[in-house]
Amino acid sequence: MSDPTIIYTHTDEAPALATYSLLPIVQAYAAKAGVTVELRDISLAGRILAGFPEHLSDDQRTPDALAELGAMVTTPGANIIKLPNISASIPQLLAAIAELQSQGLDVPAYPEDPSTDQEREIQARYKKLLGSAVNPVLRQGNSDRRAPASVKSYARTHPHRMGAWTPGSKTNVAHMSGDDFRSTEVSAVMPTEGALRVELVEADGRTTELRPPVGVLPGEVVDASVMRIGPLHAFLTDQIARAKTEDVLFSVHLKATMMKVSDPIVFGHVLRSFFPITFGQWGPTLAAAGLHPEDGLGSIFAGLDGLADGAAIRASFDAEMASGPALAMVDSDKGITNLHVPSDVIVDASMPAMIRTSGHMWGPDGSEADTLAVIPDASYAGIYQVVLDDCRANGAFDPATMGSVPNVGLMAQAAEEYGSHDKTFEIPSTGVVRVTDASGTEVFEVQVTKGDIFRMCQTKEVPIRDWVRLAVDRARATGAPAVFWLDEGRAHDANIIAIASDELSHIDTTGLTIEFLPPAEAMAYSLERIRRGEDTISVTGNVLRDYLTDLFPIMELGTSAKMLSVVPLLAGGGLFETGAGGSAPKHVQQLVAEDYLRWDSLGEFLALAVSFEHLARTTGNARAQILADTLDRATGTLLEENRSPSRKLGGLDNRGSHIYLALYWAQELAAQTDDTELAALFAPLAGALEAAEDTVVAELLAVQGKPVELGGYYHPDPELAAAAMRPSPTFNAALNTLG
């Protein structure tokens, strides 16, 4: 790898398609500053191919880019732009495997019920690709996410629509009041380096090691908790009845991507509770056919045609659906319910969308309706109820006047990776899960029954202290209060508070407002301030980081894709993230049908600017700083000139926004006076793009309105994708003049 270098990631869906259009521009401009921009494939398909090289021919093999970047982020020179990637559910993984196989790539099938050592080994390798498999590897630093001043200013002068609220709204959140992860949590701080044994001691005394020993460091916070399945079913049954009685939609909101083991299991129990008669009668038949509720109704329905009793089973599902409360819908026109796919309704994206839309979700009749949002675990569900109650009392938030809630998030070194597969288990028999150190001394134990969901997590001390320092730095830089969303009544939070308080005692916080508040109180405090137009820094753990960096941006800006997301890596490098990708699947569907991509690459523009700035600071490359400054001004012009993708066919789409960015960026570079040689290099391109503007726009509009072939969804053909995303010969020729 040459130096200085920026690594740009190839990911999935709409962001990946946008890369085919944007990256050639970035590479051409960066080259004139002596900066190389290299691409690395960390897409789901790329990771599947990298994981099974022995099944592929030499020319089909894909380097393990994630492993390469995982090593890179531990070095001072790392400079990586990370786009949103799929946090794969089982259905998505199966679809990606099937697509690769159809393209002649002989990756193995996923064995859902492995019966041999080889099948178990294949399943284990595939499971490493599920859920949030990329982020813990790359995020070797804590998170600083905020709305850039230019974006916030644009949102205030061009506010997005917010649905009206009424005091009579019946929308509410429901969560368990006990026997969940929140109420059963135990936590300990490790006194020394070592390893912890995690064992299930069954009622008859038999002991089973649930996993290999867990390595720990001094000062590390280790937690364990359990969700008890009996109380979960009782809770779900009550909420289904409540939704029916209150005549509101029933919806469940989980995190089946990040919490890739625990939450799909919970999702499966939601289906069992909603369809008790069907699973009571037909459960063994469905299981024997490999149709599991954890995969959702869509997967089950798709497999019924192959069963002798398929019609009877479908009729049973339909009857129970008709007799229960109306289900919230993902797509009313296509009959896709909230229970169809576990990864379709992810809490951090679905709850803000509901709040923005008057507290409504879509019902089976295609109309909006009040909703009971079921979030079983009480850990953070209460923050959403605070927002609902605030909107009920005070009306919708006003993007033209509201303040901002930037976030400093604890996530370095896989901090608080709850519900991930390596330390999360569906308990096979009743007993006690006992965690002991190397000497056999008990750290803690948790009573469990068969079917309960047990999870552990780790949070190392160095990231906690770095997180505290980053929060203080942001408070000092902005003058806004920094609020740690921590509850001293929760076992894990109490230990985090102790370490954070100790770190604060060694930092000069004179003149700064630093507070510790339980999440619900922190939410109320922040909402009161943003209604007054005031900013408040939220300082949170990993899960709340995920939730809040969707919630507040969607209310403030209309989308979380417009946030600046900087990860100062612990080793001194930088990871620059480009926003959320929750809407990416719908954008791909529209491109394939209409050759129109609505994806907004503003997050990429923002990340690129700070990446160039970081490169200039760490390498002394003055031209990289010029690229950063001019790109920032060009992005501001793009917003003010309304050159972001239009919502409707016939307007500028993603590709058009890239071309206008190239125009404005070239103009800024040609006009800057810090480096006249660099200005001279870009002046001809700026002139050519100005002269060809109408022609280029006409070429972009000419391709719209008809289907486009990409050669694949998870693994598109590079030539077809490039042709689709670079449809203006005039622009391509002008860009090529840079060399």
Provide the whole-model pTM. 0.87
482 CB-near residues (< 8 Å, 6+ apart): 408, 471, 472, 474, 475, 512, 513, 514, 515, 537, 539
Q: 29-60: per-residue pLDDT in tens?
A: 999 999 999 999 999 999 999 999 999 999 99
| Positive or negative torsion for Cα 378, 380, 381, 387 | positive
Number of domains observed in the structure of the chain: 1
285 lies in some domain = yes
More confident call, 87 vs 579: 87
Domain that holds residue 325: 172-181+228-394
At 329, phi and psi to the nearest 5?
-115, 145
- Residue 479 located in a structural domain: no
Tell me the pLDDT band of 193, cut-offs 50, 70 and 90.
very high
If pLDDT is split at 50, 70 and 90, which confidence band does 582 have? low
Average of per-residue pLDDT values in the chain = 94
Q: What is the pLDDT of residues 286-339, one digit of tens each?
A: 999 999 999 999 999 999 998 999 999 999 999 999 999 999 999 998 999 999
- Tell whether 328 is covered by a domain: yes
**Residue 2: per-residue pLDDT:** 45
Nearest C-alpha neighbor of 607 from the set 3, 132, 70, 37: 37
Whether residue 80 is contained in a domain is answered as no
Mark out the alpha helices in 128-259 (DSSP H runs). Answer: 135-138, 149-157, 229-246
What contacts 356, CB < 8 A, 6 or more positions away?
Answer: 162, 163, 554, 555, 558
Asked if the structure places residue 477 within a domain, the reply is: no
Which of 115 and 499 is assigned the larger pLDDT?
Answer: 499
Residues 666-680, mean pLDDT to the nearest whole number: 97
Q: How confident is the model at residue 581 (pLDDT cuts 50, 70, 90)?
A: low
pLDDT at 131: 77
DSSP string for residues in 313-371: HHHHHHHHHHHSPPBPEEETTTTEETTS-TTTSBHHHHHHHHHHTTTEEE-TTS-EEEE
Q: Are strands 249-252 and 368-374 parallel, antiparallel or unpaired?
A: parallel
